[in-house]
Amino acid sequence: MDTDRFGKHISLIYRYSHLFLNPLLSKYGLGSGQYQFLMTLYDNNEIIQEQLSKLIFILQ
């Protein structure tokens, strides 16, 4: 039962972070979905696409 609550809280944090970020990023023509890519690229100089996909857990 506690695991269900934990997952729910993570989901809420994720959704609220997007609600917070979208208005801030919209003035630059960006969405919250692009934020994770940009921050990973900023933190990892000269990264290639394969490494980027592994760091943010997406398929190429």
Query: Cα(5)–Cα(13) distance, rounded to whole angstroms?
Result: 12
Domain range enclosing 33:
2-55
3-50 per-position pLDDT tens digit = 678 889 999 998 999 899 999 999 999 988 888 888 888 999 889 988
Asked if residue 49 is part of any domain, the answer here is yes
Asked if residue 60 is part of any domain, the answer here is no
Q: Any alpha helices (H) in the chain, and if so which ranges?
A: 2-26, 32-43, 49-55
**Predicted local confidence at residue 22, as pLDDT:** 92
Domain total in the chain:
1
Query: Cα(29)–Cα(6) distance, rounded to whole angstroms?
Result: 33
Statement: the pTM of the whole predicted model exceeds 0.85: no
